[in-house]
Amino acid sequence: MLLVVLSLASVIATITLAETSTAEKIEQMRLGLFNPYRDANQWINSIVFGFLNLSFLPDYFIQKFGEDVGYYLTCYFRDLFGGTLLYWTTATIWHICIYHIYVDELFTKKGKKLPTSNTIIDQMLLAQAAMFMYAALPIFSEFLIENKLTLTCFYIVQIGGWFYYFGFLFIYYGLVEFGIYWVHRTLHTNKFLYKYIHGLHHKYNKAHTLTPWASVAFNPIDGIMQCSPYVIALFFVPVHYYTHMVCVFLTGIWATYIHDAALDSMDPIMGHKYHTVHHTHYHYNFGQFFTFWDQFYGTLRTPESIKASDVGDKSN
């Protein structure tokens, strides 16, 4: 419900801020007289903290830590709350669907083992602990955007219109997919990174240890590294501000889906079928949303194509 409120607040913020023509606003942005990103965030903050009955908090942070630090601290706690709500809401809904409503169809009739309560609790605790660091990445992104260090745009007209919007969005996702593929692959091929950072997530190395609760159960450095292409790509491609925000939040929902071990086929989508193989065989299927880069570099595997000799070295 709150996510819907936030989405509506974003739209209202955009309309409210357009008190004069878009062209005048863009000129004011160029001269440093107007910062729509900060204004929009402050609007959203007022909605979130009002909903939580904590309206006093943004002013308190500003009075205590100064204008800039107080503002970013407010945004951090907003994102921490939003990320936590997203994790628990999506995982709970997915849990009910696959382990209760469709449990016979997805697991019992296929003779598949269900995860234990201890596994689920372990994933819950790890994910929630990591959330405190995850929430910092959007704040860093916000700092870069507000200080005009990226190509992010607040208005569609700044990109060139809707045709260019969708064209650049396609390029943006292509770069993000490429970046995530290589970050993820490096986390496996580099022994130090795997042992001390990524290996923690791969203790869930059997299908029955994968659950929606494992979605963001990472070493927090791992999660930030894999999400960083969403920020890095902003330096190369003009992307609409709210689109970028939505893309980052969608990763949380997607991560919930691909960790349920249901093994349905959705080619060329990098769905749970492929990600289950990634967890059980380690050296395959590094992409996020699509299989394209794995196909190009020869690292794509399906459950049907896996042989016993393909099993990866757990220490690598």
| CA-wise closest residue to 286 among 201, 217, 220 | 201
Angle at 231 between CA 184 and CA 71, to 5 degrees: 130
Place of tokens 């393909």: 310
Nearest to 254 by CA among 90, 144, 120, 131: 90
Of 223, 222, 180, the residue nearest 197 (C-alpha)? 222
pLDDT at 305: 80
CA–CA separation, 227 and 218 (whole Å): 12
How much is the pLDDT for 10? Answer: 52
pLDDT score of 32: 66
Per-residue burial over 251-265, b = 16 or more CB atoms within 10 Å of its CB, e = otherwise: bbbbbbbbbbbbbee
Per-residue pLDDT at 114: 93
Residue 297's closest CA among 284, 309, 306?
Answer: 284
Residue 57's Cβ-count burial label (10 Å; 0-12, 13-18, 19+) is: middle
What confidence score (pLDDT) does residue 192 get?
Answer: 96
Beta bridge partners of 153: 240
- The predicted structure's pLDDT at residue 307: 60
pLDDT number for residue 33: 65
Sites in the chain below the pLDDT cut of 70: 1-21, 23, 27-33, 263, 265, 307-316
Helices (H), 31-66: 36-51, 56-65
- What is the reported pLDDT for 8? 46
